Structure 1
Amino acid sequence: MRNSRRTLIAAIATLGALTSVAACGGGSDSSASGSGDAGGTYTFWDPYPQFDASSAWGKLVTKCGTDAGVKIKRTGMDTSDLGNKALLAAQQGNAPDVMLVDNPVVSTMVEAGILNKTSDLGLDTKSIQQNILGAGTIDGSSYGVPIGANTLALYYNKKVLSAAGVDPASIKDWNSLTAALKKVKGAGKKGITFSAINTEEGSFQFLPWFWGAGGDLTKLNSAKGVAALTLWKQWVDAGYAPKDVLQNTQTTSWQEFATGDYAFSENGTWQLGNAAKAGFEYGVISIPGQSGGSAPVPTGGEFVTVPVQKDTSRYDVTKKIVTCLTSSANLLSTDTTLAYVAPTAAVQAEQVKANPELKPWVDAVAAARGRTSGGLGTKYPTISQPMWTAVQGALSGSKSPQAALDTAQTAAGKN
Structure 2
Amino acid sequence: MGSASMRRCAAGAGLAAAGLLAGCSAPTPGGAPAAETYTVWDPYAQYGDDSAWVELLTRCGAGAGVKVARTPFENTDLTNRTMLAAQQGQAPDVLLVDNPMVSTLAGAGILTTTQEIKVGTSAILPNLLAAGQVGGRTYGVPIGANTLALYYNKAVLDEAGVDPGAVRDWATLTAALEKVTASGKQGITFAAIDTEEGSFQFLPWFWGTGARLTKLDSARGIAAESLWTNWVRQGYAPASVLRNSQTASWREFATGRFGFGENGTWQLANARRLGFEYGIIPIPARTGGTAPGPLGGEFVSVPVQADTTRYAASRKLVTCLTGPGSADITNETLSYVAPTAAGQARQVAADPELRVWVNAVNAARGRTSDNLGAKYPKISEPLRGAVQASLSGALSPREAMTAAQAEAVKATR
The interval holding the TM-score normalised by the smaller chain is over 0.9
Residue in 1 that maps onto 2:325: 329
CA distance in 2, matches of 1:132, 1:38: 38
Residue in 1 that maps onto 2:237: 241
Look up the SS of the partner of 2:262 in the other structure: strand
Among 159, 164, 177, the residue aligned to 1:168: 164
> What are the residue-to-residue correspondences of 1:216-235 with 2, within 5 Å?
216-235=212-231
CA distance in 1, matches of 2:113, 2:253: 42
Residue in 1 that maps onto 2:12: none
CA distance change for structure 1 residues 50 and 29 in 2, over 3 Å: closer, same or farther?
farther
Look up the SS of the partner of 2:38 in the other structure: strand
Paired AA for residue 147 in structure 2: T
Could you say what the CA RMSD is over the residues aligned between the two structures, in angstroms?
Answer: 1.3
1:38·1:317 contact (CA, 8 Å) conserved in 2?
no
1:265-324 Cα distance to aligned partner (Å, 9 max, x none): 000000001100110111100000000000000000000000000000111111111111
C-alpha displacement of 1:30: 2.9
- Does residue 1:182 correspond to 2:178, yes or no? yes
- TM-score where L is the length of structure 1: 0.92
Residue in 2 that maps onto 1:102: 98
CA distance change for structure 1 residues 38 and 286 in 2, over 3 Å: closer, same or farther?
farther
Look up the SS of the partner of 2:70 in the other structure: strand
C-alpha displacement of 1:34: 3.1
1:254·1:265 contact (CA, 8 Å) conserved in 2?
yes
1:45·1:77 contact (CA, 8 Å) conserved in 2?
yes
Bigger radius of gyration: 2
Residue in 2 that maps onto 1:390: 386
Aligned residues: 388
C-alpha displacement of 1:60: 0.4
C-alpha displacement of 1:33: 6.1
- Does residue 1:53 correspond to 2:49, yes or no? yes
C-alpha displacement of 1:29: 4.5
Among 324, 339, 349, the residue aligned to 2:345: 349
- Does residue 1:80 correspond to 2:76, yes or no? yes
CA distance in 2, matches of 1:345, 1:215: 28
Residue in 2 that maps onto 1:285: 281
Gaps of 5+ in 2: 1-17, 27-32
CA distance in 2, matches of 1:188, 1:235: 16
- Does residue 1:142 correspond to 2:152, yes or no? no
Residue in 2 that maps onto 1:31: 21
1:121-177 Cα distance to aligned partner (Å, 9 max, x none): 110010001101111011111100100001000000011001111101100100000
C-alpha displacement of 1:412: 0.4
CA distance in 2, matches of 1:118, 1:198: 34
Farther off after superposition, 404-413 or 34-43: 34-43
- Does residue 1:252 correspond to 2:248, yes or no? yes
- Does residue 1:273 correspond to 2:263, yes or no? no
2:20·2:85 contact (CA, 8 Å) conserved in 1?
no
Residue in 2 that maps onto 1:264: 260
1:145·1:326 contact (CA, 8 Å) conserved in 2?
yes
- Does residue 1:314 correspond to 2:310, yes or no? yes
C-alpha displacement of 1:32: 5.1
- TM-score where L is the length of structure 2: 0.92
Look up the SS of the partner of 2:149 in the other structure: strand
Paired AA for residue 34 in structure 1: C
Residue in 1 that maps onto 2:397: 401
Residue in 1 that maps onto 2:359: 363
1:87·1:109 contact (CA, 8 Å) conserved in 2?
yes
- Does residue 1:303 correspond to 2:299, yes or no? yes
1:195·1:201 contact (CA, 8 Å) conserved in 2?
yes
Look up the SS of the partner of 1:93 in the other structure: coil
Residue in 1 that maps onto 2:30: none
Paired AA for residue 263 in structure 1: G
